[in-house]
């Protein structure tokens, strides 16, 4: 019988890459449940499927943030996003022309969508010299660019003031 001793240890990077795939799968599962049961359908915990989709999406972003902190940079790129939107829109037009897709005529959001501010203050994480690190305690993260650090600051108050100005 196999045990953990028979497994080959993996690196932190490999673990996070596997976690990203897992979280992406959970997001996919929630989206498919929304198609199957409707986005207002509740899970046993009382959350709607739409809320579960949002939760799983943020889980993906959380793992991307962790990967970025390791130096495995995954960035949101406007050019790639625009290309994907164009491609999907084109294929939706083909599907409509073939009569297998109808255009939505109502807004599916049951409540207003609150957008996340682009810049957010968080603890600065670094892996430079754990025992003697003198890096700033706070960082401003760009949520629209894979949670890359915009800048670091010693003072949380200063970091928040800069963040507020950036988000205006």
**Residue that is written with structure tokens 């970091």 in the block:** 159
User: Do 21 and 69 fall within a single domain?
Assistant: yes
**Domain enclosing residue 131, as ranges:** 116-168
What pLDDT score was predicted for residue 143?
75
109 belongs to a structural domain: no
6 belongs to a structural domain: no
Give residue 1's Cα distance to chain centre. 39
User: Do 46 and 93 fall within a single domain?
Assistant: no
Residue 146 has φ and ψ, to the nearest 5°, of: 65, 25
3 belongs to a structural domain: no
What pLDDT score was predicted for residue 81?
85
Q: What pTM did the predictor assign? A: 0.60
Note every long-range contact of 46-52, with CB atoms under 8 Å and residues 24 or more positions apart, other chains counting.
48/110, 50/110
110 belongs to a structural domain: no
**Mean per-residue pLDDT, 79-103:** 86
Tokens of 98: 């073939």
What pLDDT score was predicted for residue 14?
95
């Amino acid at each position: 019988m196999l045990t953990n001793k028979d497994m080959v240890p993996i690196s932190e990077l490999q673990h996070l890459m596997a976690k990203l795939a897992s979280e992406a799968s959970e997001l996919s599962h929630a989206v498919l449940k929304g198609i199957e049961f409707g986005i207002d359908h509740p899970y046993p915990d009382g959350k709607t499927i739409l809320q579960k989709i949002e939760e799983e999406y943020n889980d993906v972003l959380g793992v991307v943030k962790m990967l970025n902190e390791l130096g495995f940079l995954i960035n949101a790129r406007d050019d790639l996003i625009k290309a994907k939107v164009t491609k999907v829109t084109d294929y939706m037009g083909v599907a409509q022309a073939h009569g297998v897709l109808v255009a939505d005529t109502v807004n599916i959001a049951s409540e207003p969508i609150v957008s996340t501010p682009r810049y957010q203050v968080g603890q600065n994480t670094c892996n430079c010299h754990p025992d003697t690190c003198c890096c700033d305690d706070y960082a401003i993260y760009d949520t629209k660019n894979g949670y890359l650090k915009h800048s670091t600051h010693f003072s949380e108050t200063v970091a928040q003031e800069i963040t507020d100005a950036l988000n205006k």
